[in-house]
Amino acid sequence: MTTFRNHSAEIMRHLKETRRPVILTVNGKAAAVVQDADAYQHLLDLAAEASPAEGIRQGLDDLANGSTRSAREIFDELRTEYGIPR
């Protein structure tokens, strides 16, 4: 953990370049895993595909956080993008 604290910018650059997680240790034992945000999102997406319960959990989180759009908004966007008349 001390190394991460003292070299965080360097480690973050490494994460972006390799997209591989870094395991932080305390007294030689794994204590935490740090990874690039895109790689983490990819893991969440894989989990949602593999587990219906995880997909539902993520959907409920999106609803709670206001990270959703109405179907009408999505369909209007698709119609505009692809020139589909109403």
Kindly state whether residue 42 falls inside one of the protein's structural domains: no
For residues 5 and 29, state if they share a domain: yes
Kindly state whether residue 41 falls inside one of the protein's structural domains: no
Kindly state whether residue 46 falls inside one of the protein's structural domains: no
Q: What is the pTM of this model?
A: 0.53
For residues 32 and 56, state if they share a domain: no
> In angstroms, rounded to a whole number, what is the distance separating the alpha carbons of residues 35 and 44?
13
For residues 1 and 24, state if they share a domain: yes
The count of structural domains within the chain is 2
Kindly state whether residue 81 falls inside one of the protein's structural domains: yes
What is the torsional sign of CA 9, 17, 1, 35? positive
- Percent with pLDDT over 90 in the chain: 49
Residue 21 belongs to what domain range? Answer: 1-36
pLDDT digits (tens, 9 = 90+) for 36-70: 998 899 988 999 888 888 889 999 999 999 999 99
Kindly state whether residue 66 falls inside one of the protein's structural domains: yes
Record the tokens describing residue 54, joined without a space: 């995880």
